Amino acid sequence: MPTVLITGVTGFLAAHAAVRFLEGGWNVRGTLRSKSKIQALNEMPEFKPYIEKGKLEFYVTGPLESGDYSEAIKGVDAVAHVASPVEFEGSDFRKDYMIPAVNGTKGVLEAAAEENSVKAVVMTSTYGAVGDHRKHPTAQAGKLVNEENWNPCTIEELEKMSSENSEGNGAFLAGYLYYMGAKKYAELAAWEIQKKAKWSLATMCCTMIWGPPIQPLSSLSKGGMSTEYMYMILGGKDAPIMDTLFPYYVDVRDAAEAHYQAIIKQSQGRFILAASPFSYQQIADDVREWYPEESHRIPIGHPGEYEFEEPGVYKLSNEKSKTELGLEYRPWEETIKDTFDRLLVLEKQGLN
């Protein structure tokens, strides 16, 4: 059976990706920064049967930006580089964002370039590396965006913003702009490394990722962006509803499927992963309807007013992911219901 190395296996998407490869008959080696979550991983019902059969192993490789993958990568057939530093609070673009993101990518992919057994690599990128974030999505209504597009922000622009202690550009807070810029340069580093490698490279430019969390969690309100943002919808009737700055989403299980298909097909190129447009107001409205017993906890906002309908937002093309990877995106209702079913179960178990 072939073996895949998956980085950051304790993460939201990486845990689902590991399950998908295991279901496909692959052996999985998952990396993590420290030993602290190994026990929790061993107890995951989704992982436990595969661990007992020797199909799933964990490797402690240290901090992402300076990790040692020399042992974990030996003899693997493929690499799914999913892990990435998520930082929004830092004020120095180069030090807090770009260097950790680029070095993290280089560490994994340069190790892959030196391992002759590796035939395919997939890397989790983001729509942040694709779109123009100098303008609000509603100011780009009707604009068609595909895999040929790149985030136009330059290192010079972001460093200037950083040196001036800017709060952002009126549409996005500075930390988000720095994060998206760092993801762009991390992806560019990956394409540069591939020039000297023999493996295929596919980058998954994910939109907002929703779906049921299966990874080890100690908190829902501090459980990573996807879990935190969804749990905020249960934050109280008078709580504010966020502006939808990334108005497209993908189900985490579909994103995991895309990573799997890219490896088994040895796909080459960038792929936008997007099911459809969405709004946080839409989530609040639908969750209030589908979970009436929780309605007292769900913000009211402005029911029925969705940015993607009026005034409209840019249009993302997902055709390449459907034609080349064979993706069939889950419907909205399935994603949202599965997410909140899981959050409510975890809440009853004592997480908040």
Q: What is the pLDDT of residue 168?
A: 85
- Residues of the chain under the 70 pLDDT cut: 87
**Cα–Cα distance measured from residue 337 to residue 340, given in angstroms and rounded to the nearest whole number:** 5
- Residue 8's CB: how many other CB atoms inside 10 A? 26
Q: What is the pLDDT of residue 169?
A: 82
Alpha helices (runs of H) in the chain, residue ranges in sequence order: 12-23, 38-42, 48-52, 99-113, 155-163, 174-194, 225-231, 252-264, 280-290, 319-324, 332-348
Both tokens assigned to 211: 């779906």
Q: What is the pLDDT of residue 219?
A: 94
What is the distance between the terminal CA atoms of the chain, rounded to a whole angstrom? 40
- Distances from the Cα of 331 to the Cα of 42, 98, 251, 274, angstroms: 32, 35, 9, 12
Per-residue pLDDT tens for 44-101? 999 999 999 999 999 999 999 899 999 999 999 999 999 987 767 778 999 999 999 9
pTM score over 0.85: yes
Greatest Cα pair distance in the chain: 57
- The CATH code that applies to domain 3-213+248-274+315-330 is 3.40.50.720
Do 167 and 88 form a contact (C-beta atoms < 8 A)? no
